[in-house]
């Protein structure tokens, strides 16, 4: 079973690449480091709620869409 960080990371990468943004560009939009964005995408780090909101805003998606890959079971 995938971890929260892994599920969020794959969702983050999918939305970022769909929008044609680099990790650097997303970092500039969110004020998060490129290193942290890369670690999230690889499932090594999980963001806090403030970061999720900033990422969702920058990617022009809802917070719900950012966490839609999680199962409640």
Q: What domains are there in the chain, each with its CATH number?
A: 4-66 (1.10.260.40)
Taking only the tens place, the pLDDT of each residue in 6-42 is: 999 999 999 999 999 999 999 999 999 999 999 999 9
Q: Which residue has the higher pLDDT, 20 or 73?
A: 20
Which residue shows structure tokens 């490129």?
34
Q: How many residues does the structure list for the chain? A: 73
- The mean pLDDT of 42-59, rounded to a whole number, is 97
Calculate Rg over the CA atoms of the chain.
11
Measured in whole angstroms, the distance separating CA 61 from the mean position of its chain's CA atoms is 11
């Amino acid at each position: 079973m995938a971890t929260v960080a892994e599920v969020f990371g794959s969702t983050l990468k999918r939305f970022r690449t769909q929008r044609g943004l680099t990790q650097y560009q997303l970092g500039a939009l969110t004020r998060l480091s490129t290193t942290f964005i890369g670690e999230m995408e690889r499932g090594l780090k999980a963001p806090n709620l403030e970061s999720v909101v900033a990422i969702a805003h920058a990617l022009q998606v809802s917070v719900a869409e950012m966490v839609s890959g999680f199962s409640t079971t």
